[in-house]
Structure 1
Amino acid sequence: MFWKPTEEQKLQLEWKWLQSIAIFLPVSNVFMPFFAALLALLVSFRYGWKAIATPVTRAYFGLSVWMILTTIIAFNFGTAAGGLANFLPYFLLAATTSFIIRTPTQFVQILWLLVFSSIFVSGFGILQAIINRPDWIFPKVFFDSYPIPMGFSPDRRIQSIFGHFNEAAVYLLTIIPITFHFAVGKVKSISKAQKWIALIALSLAICVLILTSSRNAWVLAILGFVAISLYYRQWKLVGGFGLAMLLIAWAVFGQKFGLGGEWLRSLLPEGFVNRLTSTVDPKLGDYASTADRLNAWQFALSLISQHPIQGWGLRNFPLIAQSIGYDLRGLPHEHNFFMAIAVGSGIPALLGFVTIIIWTIWTSLRSVLAQQTEGTIVIVAISIILCLLSGWLDIVFYEPRISILLWLLLGSMYGLAKSSQLTQIDEVSRSNPQS
């Protein structure tokens, strides 16, 4: 009898390729998307559409067709066609990842590599803070066309290897829950050395997250730790985080609303307090970011109301504003990811996008193999939700590395769900050999 390799053995090349993407993901936002695209094309041509065709993949395909149709009739076709690159390749990457990852062991391994590679992001951020020479520019050939200053910005923020502070913050925000899960020893299948590395990665990531001064990421990080504590059923931690949030809110905003809290406010770092207060206080300079967002959202809602079905074309938002003389106050986009989808491809595209995400997470959490991940799949779901929630106040998904990270996690989750279904079908066929 001839030896017949298993599906996992057939996919060794693709599996090694995917691991390489996870390890080197932070290094470049040019080479890594190209490397990921080659993997997706390899799987598509080598195994064909039927191999990756699943209910979720068909949903991706349907959404892609709709986005292409709305691009054809867009306000500016060329810009909208370029906007497709922010969605369609990542849909294919998610489908490819779900085809390659089939076991809980693979799932945990790919997550561990993402945690390990995050040390490069946070480590570089710490290096920037230590050197603090913003006039020194790191060679941009390693990343993209934007400069990487080796120090704090004028408003005391660190961007690490990303083009903007918020991009670095969301990348780390997405990784931190997974890193925490490894660091506290919840995953028994990793070694003690890996646990300690995860602890180092967690400490560095939290430090750099603070240094990015991203208010959005700060709040979401706390909510993420509350969600993790709820999952762990650590009620004292839940209460502690809740009390801490109330005290911080009292200290920062109490004086403005006549509730006191000045004594506690004096104990907190001044920069931290001013950064949060400026969110609602028009007297402070940073309030401009809030006012500009409200202005952009108002315009976005008016555009959605005018073309609720077909939209105006992806990435066309600033072009439309310019054509009618609407002042966006320098903002390049809607600063809301979900509004951006609705403005670009209409409300049907937004509903389809959200439905696919919810369907993927729900199906994955209910799968048989999910129970063998030592709770890791739940933590990944929390990471994905935090990443997407960051889209309420900003759009960082135009940064390829963040999009790759998001869709890699979604594809990994669904890979287990798909494998669970195949396992159940195989067990049924074995129990009924004559059927």
Structure 2
Amino acid sequence: MSNFSASVAPEDLLPDPQPSQPQGWLLGSAALIPVNLAPSLLLAVVGTVQSYGRCWQQIRRDPLLGLAGLLSAAAVATALLGEDWRLSLPGMFNYWPFLLMLPAFGAALADPESRRRLAQVLVLGSGLMLLLGWGEVLWGWQGHLFLGPLWITGVAGGERPAAAFTSPNLLAIYLVIHLCLAAGLWGVTRSRLTRAGLVAMLGLGSLLLLLTASRSGWGAGGLALLIGLVLRRCWWGIALLAGLGLASLAAALDWPGWRAVVPSLIWSRLADTWDPQAPHFSSTANRLDAWRFALQMVRERPLTGWGWQSFPALYNAQDPPELLGHCHNLYLHLAAEGGIPLLLGYLALWGWILARGWRAWRCSQDGLLLGMLLALTAFFAAGIVDVVILDGRLHLLMTLLLGAVWGSSLDPLHSEQNGVPADPFPSQAFQPMPQQSSVLAFSGITLFILSRLPDFLAYRLDGLTQFRLTHIPPHQISPFPRREGMGGESTPLQKGSKKLLLTHFRKSSVVSGVPHLLPWSSQSPCWPLIPSSQGISYPWRSPT
């Protein structure tokens, strides 16, 4: 039997007291993710330096190193070429450090044992988030924890649990990732005590995910669960999941009798997505407006983008101002601020790593590797409606998992037993393939189509937004007045009006008083500034 399905004793859930370096530094970094980002990043940097020093000969032969390095250089160039480099330079730290860490993480996590210990540390660390989240729900925890003058962690407090994050959506994605990892550990563990502990964490985490009322978290978690059930051929689970989904949809559409069966927390939140008369349809309207604005930015500068943190500066510079920290779409965010080529580079890097990881899983059938792949799939699916990459803890967590999946394709065990090449790109010079000319031609055509896609999507999305917003009173759309052009009038940002975007952007420069803070600060523009929902209350919470 493969080492992937080896028995895990209860004491194996605890990390090795003296792990080998640089894996030990990465395990320490993973353990501190729920606590504080600063020491976690510091340990990750130390592990990265050591991994490059010890595994450089292995890392340098992989073309993914060149792609990651090229993307990190492009992230820096985007900051320097942005319209306001003083705003863009701090924002680039959300990108290039993680890109340079990724190859080192892949080399350090190339063996199955290091990946198993990483998953164990992450799942154990998620217990802190569960504690904070349930404390917020049951006892109304709110406040900050200090160690002398140093801030350690805190709980925002609100109607929807967010634990130590700034938004319930971020907590939801965090929970989905760790639920996938816990399920993967459960599949490779034979100890009954360990399985019982994992089942308890799965139950508490799933219920807390439901209470976050995050549609993006529900959708990402449902997608990951569906893919896992299909791959494991669990047909009764697929039927149960489909039944629950259809029942929730029927209640949200107000089919007779269904709202008496489905909890109101579920159907009311789903109804907010498409029902203009719903009390919180404003969240959907804000997303549509942000997507249209981002598409217009891409249409104006499709190749170079506007620079990091340019979207909130432009969007919030409207008169009257509208507060929004990002465009609620990871891929539009990268295209608008970094340009379409940078977006394609990110998609190529992520897709290449996932493809190699799925290939390794097909040969090994490792349940833990499947959990990591499902966690990453859920993360990128959530990127359709949120820019979760801007949170430093989630970005570091995603980079660790991408490195682990990358390392699974470098595992010598696959080469010897399963037929997956440990290093599919040997050190000798790369030989040209006959299909290269076709690939280049296809890439050129695709780039041309994508350069025209923003015009088409902006036109379609503009019509959809106008259709939606003409059916609801303005006071139900947003707590802030809408900008001109949302009610069917001519929008101030039409094709060919680049000077208007520049005017909006320059209004948000240092002269006008917009702060330029370091990333990962709670007041930084690169953090999502999402007002919390006020329409969901828990029966056991006393009103404030």
The interval holding the TM-score normalised by the smaller chain is 0.7 to 0.9
* Residues 116 and 197, structure 1, Cα contact 8 Å, conserved in 2: no
1:394 lines up with 2:386 in the alignment: yes
Offset, 1:328:
6.8
Other-structure match for 1:120: 128
SS in 2 for 1:279: helix
Offset, 1:401:
1.1
Offset, 1:293:
0.9
Per-residue deviation, residues 210-253 of structure 1 (Å, max 9, x unmatched): 12111111122122211111011011111221122112101111
Other-structure match for 1:332: 325
Letter in 1 for 2:84: N
- Calculate the TM-score normalised by the size of structure 2: 0.69
Q: CA RMSD in A?
A: 2.6
* Residues 80 and 315, structure 1, Cα contact 8 Å, conserved in 2: yes
* Residues 104 and 370, structure 1, Cα contact 8 Å, conserved in 2: no
d(CA) in 1 for partners of 2:152 and 2:302?
A: 36
1:175 lines up with 2:178 in the alignment: yes
- Larger CA deviation: 261-270 vs 168-177: 261-270
Change in Cα spacing, 1:144 to 1:307, as seen in structure 2 (3 Å) is farther
Change in Cα spacing, 1:145 to 1:17, as seen in structure 2 (3 Å) is closer
SS in 2 for 1:286: coil
Letter in 2 for 1:218: W
Offset, 1:141:
6.2
- Larger CA deviation: 326-335 vs 103-112: 326-335
* Residues 73 and 96, structure 2, Cα contact 8 Å, conserved in 1: no
d(CA) in 2 for partners of 1:108 and 1:373?
A: 14
Offset, 1:205:
0.9
d(CA) in 2 for partners of 1:144 and 1:286?
A: 34
Letter in 2 for 1:101: L
* Residues 248 and 266, structure 2, Cα contact 8 Å, conserved in 1: no
Other-structure match for 1:221: 221
* Residues 145 and 153, structure 2, Cα contact 8 Å, conserved in 1: no
1:158 lines up with 2:152 in the alignment: no
SS in 1 for 2:165: coil
Letter in 1 for 2:143: I
Offset, 1:273:
2.2
Within-5 A mapping of 1:167-206? 167-183=170-186, 186-188=187-189, 191-206=191-206
SS in 1 for 2:143: strand
Letter in 1 for 2:177: T
Counting matched residue pairs gives 400
Offset, 1:303:
0.7
Within-5 A mapping of 1:91-102? 91-102=99-110
Offset, 1:59:
0.7
What are structure 1's unaligned runs of at least 5 residues?
Answer: 1-10, 256-260, 430-435
Offset, 1:166:
1.0
Letter in 1 for 2:218: W
Q: Of 410, 420, 430, which aligns to 2:402?
A: 410
Offset, 1:87:
1.4
Change in Cα spacing, 1:117 to 1:313, as seen in structure 2 (3 Å) is same
Offset, 1:194:
2.6
Change in Cα spacing, 1:373 to 1:86, as seen in structure 2 (3 Å) is farther
Other-structure match for 1:375: 367
Offset, 1:425:
7.0
Q: Of 263, 266, 275, which aligns to 1:269?
A: 263
Other-structure match for 1:72: 80
- Larger CA deviation: 282-291 vs 343-352: 282-291
Letter in 1 for 2:174: Y
Other-structure match for 2:307: 313
Other-structure match for 2:32: 24
Offset, 1:384:
0.1
* Residues 144 and 155, structure 2, Cα contact 8 Å, conserved in 1: yes
1:208 lines up with 2:208 in the alignment: yes
Per-residue deviation, residues 62-92 of structure 1 (Å, max 9, x unmatched): 1112222222210111222222211111112
* Residues 316 and 322, structure 2, Cα contact 8 Å, conserved in 1: no
d(CA) in 2 for partners of 1:360 and 1:289?
A: 33
Letter in 1 for 2:301: H
Letter in 2 for 1:170: I
d(CA) in 2 for partners of 1:274 and 1:209?
A: 16
Letter in 1 for 2:35: V
Other-structure match for 2:334: 341
Offset, 1:422:
7.3
d(CA) in 2 for partners of 1:146 and 1:405?
A: 17
d(CA) in 2 for partners of 1:358 and 1:326?
A: 40
* Residues 179 and 202, structure 1, Cα contact 8 Å, conserved in 2: yes
Within-5 A mapping of 1:54-73? 54-73=62-81
d(CA) in 1 for partners of 2:104 and 2:226?
A: 32
Change in Cα spacing, 1:240 to 1:327, as seen in structure 2 (3 Å) is farther
* Residues 177 and 228, structure 1, Cα contact 8 Å, conserved in 2: no
SS in 2 for 1:227: helix
Offset, 1:366:
1.9
Q: Of 266, 286, 290, which aligns to 1:296?
A: 290
The structure carrying a bigger helix percent of its residues is 1
d(CA) in 2 for partners of 1:116 and 1:57?
A: 31
1:130 lines up with 2:124 in the alignment: no
Per-residue deviation, residues 276-308 of structure 1 (Å, max 9, x unmatched): 211222223311111111111101001101111
Offset, 1:182:
2.6
d(CA) in 2 for partners of 1:160 and 1:106?
A: 28
Other-structure match for 1:111: 119
d(CA) in 1 for partners of 2:388 and 2:380?
A: 10
* Residues 329 and 383, structure 2, Cα contact 8 Å, conserved in 1: yes
Offset, 1:329:
2.8
- Larger CA deviation: 49-58 vs 238-247: 49-58
- Calculate the TM-score normalised by the size of structure 1: 0.85
Change in Cα spacing, 1:223 to 1:146, as seen in structure 2 (3 Å) is same
d(CA) in 1 for partners of 2:177 and 2:302?
A: 31
Change in Cα spacing, 1:327 to 1:284, as seen in structure 2 (3 Å) is farther
SS in 2 for 1:13: coil
* Residues 145 and 152, structure 2, Cα contact 8 Å, conserved in 1: no
What are structure 2's unaligned runs of at least 5 residues?
Answer: 1-18, 427-544
Other-structure match for 1:7: none
Other-structure match for 1:52: 59
1:148 lines up with 2:148 in the alignment: no
* Residues 369 and 405, structure 2, Cα contact 8 Å, conserved in 1: yes
- Larger CA deviation: 400-409 vs 93-102: 93-102
d(CA) in 2 for partners of 1:320 and 1:240?
A: 45
